[in-house]
Structure 1
Amino acid sequence: MKTIKILLVLVIITFFSCKKDIKSGLHTVNVETLDSVKSTKNSTNKNKSIYTKYEYIYSESKSLIIQNSFPKGGMRYKAPNGKEYIYAVFWTRISNKTPDAVDFKIDFPLNSYEIPTLPVKYYKILIPSDTMTLDKIPLFNYGLTNLESFFDKNIDKPSSLKRSIKPKESTGFYVVTLRLMEGTQYGILRTEFTLKGKNLFYKIRDKEIKCGSIEKK
């Protein structure tokens, strides 16, 4: 009888401990769950420019939403050193549905990233400082202009972005991927930002890059 009581106490302690963990902070989403959420969001999404949409829940009626677009572009850019690139423009929108302001930062070092499913193909990632708004969705390159001069100044530099989002507000930004014009073409890219705990990750096809964070102010 004494043994049974001890077991019951342990079960109760474990239950409340797990319940507390579930409510604390943003949900961490594993790869399998992300694939499931992605399929659901794509099949129900009315905005045809949005590739994926994720909601990360703090508690009831408090969440962060990340929307990631399909690409536009496929245009060519010739760098001052004579190298030719093909580029694509994406946008991401982060909505703060919490009562607190949040800060996010994104940093991409001066790297070229190889994509496992696209061997020997290396991608550069640049983040313009422009703000993306929903009214720009129908425009060429989602309304992002002066790209050639932006590339000339930033093609060989790290890229970063820092912003604050007030409670119940949203912000949008652009991401541009570039790769050298060499060999076989590999079709249209799919990219997205996701959140795991406080850490932001950027995914290009099957390449996942830890690139920043989101935190309450």
Structure 2
Amino acid sequence: MKHVSFLFILLLSNILIGQEFHTEYHYPTNAGESILIQNSYPKGGLDYTDAYGKTYAYFVFWTQVTNKTSKPLQLSVDFPLETSSVNPTYFQLYVPEISMTLENIQKFDYGLDVSAYLNQQLGQKSDKVTHIAPGKTSMFYVVALSEERISGVARAGFQLEGKQLVYTINTQKTNSGTLQ
């Protein structure tokens, strides 16, 4: 029985570790090259309490954009203050300036100190601009913050619609920047 339990746990851990991406999108260019956007599953789902004692629920996601073209790309993420509504829950979306790294994938909240970040940024507009050289990758965090818990699971990620970046959290889409 010990061996069966061990094999089950080993198999389950390999399945979970192998599920790094919730979604993966390939966008071909006119030159036959492509841009790859990969979005993670959430971590978190815990509480954050601000300096005034107000409690929020949060999730941490990360996105990886790979430039498989021969030209540099400019990634501009610009979240409005009031963002997505997943009925009846409203989310504020934040994009920390700190970069996500592969070493943080297995860490709690993907290695992001959510409390320290939100203590500085809560209620402020969140944006990020980065340049991605040909053949290079950019990884970054997204924090989804809500005054209410959602029922069910949280899924989120970026997609391209033309040059517009659209962030979808569950079924709600938010225009959130550009990739050009």
Shorter-chain TM-score range: 0.7 to 0.9
Counterparts of 1:127 and 1:107 in 2: how far apart (Å)? Answer: 8
1:148 counterpart SS class: helix
Q: 1 or 2, which has the higher helix percentage?
A: 1
Tell whether 2:118 aligns with 1:148: no
User: Which runs of structure 1 show a deviation greater than 6 angstroms over 4 or more consecutive aligned residues?
Assistant: none
Match of residue 12 from structure 1: none
Match of residue 214 from structure 1: 179
Match of residue 157 from structure 1: 124
1:212 counterpart SS class: strand
Match of residue 125 from structure 1: 93
Match of residue 167 from structure 1: 134
Counterparts of 2:93 and 2:32 in 1: how far apart (Å)? Answer: 34
Q: List aligned pairs for 1:1-217, cutoff 5 A.
A: 47-59=18-30, 61-115=32-86, 118-119=87-88, 121-145=89-113, 147-181=114-148, 185-215=150-180
Give a deviation string over 1:43-94, Cα, whole Å, max 9, x none: xxx9302100000001465100000000001121111222100111000000
2:53 counterpart SS class: coil
* Cα-Cα RMSD: 1.6
Counterparts of 1:133 and 1:57 in 2: how far apart (Å)? Answer: 25
Match of residue 19 from structure 1: none
Counterparts of 1:158 and 1:52 in 2: how far apart (Å)? Answer: 26
Q: State the number of aligned residues.
A: 164
Counterparts of 2:82 and 2:38 in 1: how far apart (Å)? Answer: 25
Indicate conservation of the 8 Å contact 2:84/2:169, yes or no.
no
Counterparts of 1:75 and 1:164 in 2: how far apart (Å)? Answer: 32
Structure 2, unmatched stretches of 5+, are 1-16
Structure 1, unmatched stretches of 5+, are 1-45
Q: Which amino acid aligns with 2:103?
A: D
Give a deviation string over 1:170-216, Cα, whole Å, max 9, x none: 0100000011146xx5122000100011110000111111110011x
Counterparts of 1:112 and 1:171 in 2: how far apart (Å)? Answer: 23
Indicate conservation of the 8 Å contact 2:44/2:109, yes or no.
yes
Q: Which amino acid aligns with 1:177?
A: A
Q: Which amino acid aligns with 1:87?
A: Y
Match of residue 8 from structure 1: none
Cα displacement (A) at 1:136: 1.5
Counterparts of 1:139 and 1:152 in 2: how far apart (Å)? Answer: 21
Compare CA radii of gyration and give the structure with the larger one: 1
Counterparts of 2:83 and 2:34 in 1: how far apart (Å)? Answer: 33
Give a deviation string over 1:85-136, Cα, whole Å, max 9, x none: 0111000000000010010101112214322xx22x1111111111112221
2:18 counterpart SS class: coil
1:142 counterpart SS class: helix
